[in-house]
Amino acid sequence: MSDHDRDRCTVGVVGTGYVGLTTAACLAHLGHRVTGVDIDARKVAVLRRGDVPIAEPGLDTLVADGLATRRLTFTTDLTALAEADVVVLCVPTPTGPDGTADLRAYDAAVDAAAPVLAAHCVVAVKSTVPVGTTTRTARRLGRPAVSNPEFLREGHAAHDFLHPDRIVVGGSDPDAASRVASLYDGLTAPVVHTDPVSSELAKYASNAFLALKVSYVNVLADLCERLGADVVDVTDVMRLDPRIGSTFLSPGPGWGGSCLPKDTRALLHTATEAGADVALLADAVAANERQHERMARKVRQAVTGSPEGSLHGVRLGLLGVTFKAGTDDVRDSPALAVAQRLAAAGAVLTGYDPGVDRDGCPGTHGLVQLVDDVTLVAKDAAGLVLLTEWPQFRDLDWAHLAELTDRATIVDTRNLLDPPTLTRAGFTYFGLGR
C-alpha cells in the first residue's frame, strides 16, 4: 500500500441525489473508499449498474471509474457505515410551507445512522440546514459533527467539486474539523475553518446574495426599457468593476432551481426569528415574483399589442422549461412560473427543451405539451418565447422556424439570441431591457 493510499479515508455518503452522488463520486475520484447509502432501492440498483439518473456533465464518467476501481459502491444497508471514518450527510431538506427547511428526512437519517457509527467516526453535514443544526446533530449523535456546506452549481457540479472556489469547514472540535478538511487534500482551494453557525450561515448568505444580484439586474432591465437604454451595454460596464464582478448580471425571467429560492426563504425565516431586519432580501424575493408576471405581460404585449391582451386559445411555443441550461431540473423553474401565468391567461403552450424527456417531466404535466422536435414548437404558433438559455438555441434554423409560425414573433427573455440574425430570418424580436 502506498503512502497516498494510507492517507485516504473510508467514507459513507448518506443520500445519493445531486449533492450526494456528486460528493460520493468525486471523493472516490480523490482516492477515498466511498459507500453511497440511500433508502431508494430502485435508485441504488440503477447506480450499481453505472447509470446516472441526473443530467450532470462528467458525473457518469466519475461514477463508472469509481465502480471499476471498486472505490465506489452503493447500498441501501446503513450498516455499511460501520466502517466509515467520516460520514457525510447529503439528505434533502426541502422547503416547508412556512419557508423553513423540512428536516424530517434529515433527522430520520441521523437517528438511523446513530447506532451504526464507529466510535472514531466524524459526521460532516453537507445538507443545507438551518443555522444551529450541526450543533444539534452533534448532541443527537453524541459525537463531533462538522458543517461542510456545498457550493455546487447544477450543470457544473462535478467540475465545481473538483475545482472549488473555497472549502468551508465549520467545527467546534479541531481534530474533527481537520479530518473533514483532509477529505479534500489534493484540491487547490482556500480552506476556511470556522465555527458551525458561521459555516451554515455562509451557505445561505452566499446564495441569497446571488439572488439579490439577479433581482437587481432584472429591475435594471425594466428601467433600461423605460429609458431607452440597453441593459447589455449597461451590464458590460458594470462587469468591468472588480468590486461588482462579472457573474449573475444577465437579466432573465427570474431566479429559480433547487438552491436560491429555498435558501433565500430559509434565510428570511431565520432572520425574522432572530428579530433582524432583512427588508432588502424580502424585496429581492418580491422582485423575483414580479419578474414572472412582467415576462408574461411582455409576451402578451408582443403577441397581442397590449400587456393586457387576451391570450385565450392563442398557441405559443416555449423554448426551454428547465430553470437553467445544462440541467434537467425544473424545480422552481422561472420558465414554468412564466408558463403558468401564460396558461392562466388562456394560452395553449407547446414546449421543447433539450434537457428533458417529453414523457418524464412531471412539473410540466397539464401545463405544457412537451415535444421532441423544435419545429413542432414553431408550427402555427402566434409567438415563440425563449425561457432557458440553452446555447444550441442560437444555432437553430430561424428562417425555417419563421416560416412555420403563424406570426413570426419571438420574446427572448434571456437575451441569448442575436437580434439582427432573428430580424433577417423574418422574426419580430423582443429582448429584455433593450
pLDDT at 267 over 50: yes
Mean pLDDT of 342-348: 96
CATH no. for 204-285:
1.10.1040.10
Q: State the amino acid at position 165 in one-letter form.
A: D
In tens, the pLDDT along 401-432 reads 999 999 999 999 999 999 999 999 999 999 99
Mean pLDDT of 376-387: 97
CB 167 within 8 A of CB 190: yes
CB 219 within 8 A of CB 285: no
Does domain 291-430 sit in CATH 3.30.450.20?
no
pLDDT at 261 over 50: yes
- How many residues belong to the chain? 434
Mean pLDDT of 319-343: 94
CB 125 within 8 A of CB 89: yes
Q: For residue 28, how many other CB atoms are within 10 A of its CB? A: 26
Name the region of 294 (left: φ>0; alpha: ψ -120 to 50; beta: rest): alpha
Can 3-194 and 204-285 be said to share one CATH topology? no
Beta bridge partners, 192, equal 168
- pLDDT at position 8: 83
CB 389 within 8 A of CB 353: no
CB 173 within 8 A of CB 145: no
In tens, the pLDDT along 71-90 reads 999 999 999 999 999 999 99
pLDDT at 5 over 50: no
Tell me the average pLDDT of the chain.
Answer: 94
pLDDT bucket at 360, cuts 50 / 70 / 90: low
Instruction: Give the percent of the chain with pLDDT over 70.
Output: 98
CA quadruple 205, 211, 215, 218: dihedral positive or negative? Answer: positive
Cell of 214: 439577479
pLDDT at 248 over 80: yes
Q: Where are the domains of the chain?
A: 3-194, 204-285, 291-430
CB 66 within 8 A of CB 34: yes
Read off the DSSP letter of residue 86. E
What is the residue-wise DSSP string for 13-75? EE--SHHHHHHHHHHHHTT-EEEEE-S-HHHHHHHHTT---S--TTHHHHHHHHHHHTSEEEE
Mean pLDDT of 340-344: 96
- pLDDT at position 362: 74
- pLDDT at position 7: 61
> How far are the Cα atoms of 256, 338, 348 from residue 393, in angstroms, in the given order?
20, 19, 22
Euclidean distance between CA atoms 193 and 103, whole angstroms:
25
Cell of 356: 428533458
CB 188 within 8 A of CB 32: no
Euclidean distance between CA atoms 355 and 335, whole angstroms:
13
Beta-carbon-side half-sphere exposure of residue 346 (alpha carbons within 13 Å): 9
- pLDDT at position 23: 98
- pLDDT at position 101: 87
In tens, the pLDDT along 149-182 reads 999 999 999 999 999 999 999 999 999 999 999 9
* Residues with a known catalytic role: 259
pLDDT bucket at 2, cuts 50 / 70 / 90: very low
- pLDDT at position 361: 75
In tens, the pLDDT along 89-128 reads 999 999 887 778 899 999 999 999 999 999 999 999 999 9
Rg (CA), the chain: 23
pLDDT bucket at 4, cuts 50 / 70 / 90: very low
pLDDT at 3 over 50: no
CB 408 within 8 A of CB 427: yes
Q: Report the run of H or E that residue 9 belongs to, with start and end.
A: none
CATH superfamily of the domain spanning 3-194: NAD(P)-binding Rossmann-like Domain (3.40.50.720)
Q: What distance lies between CA 398 and its chain's CA centroid? A: 30
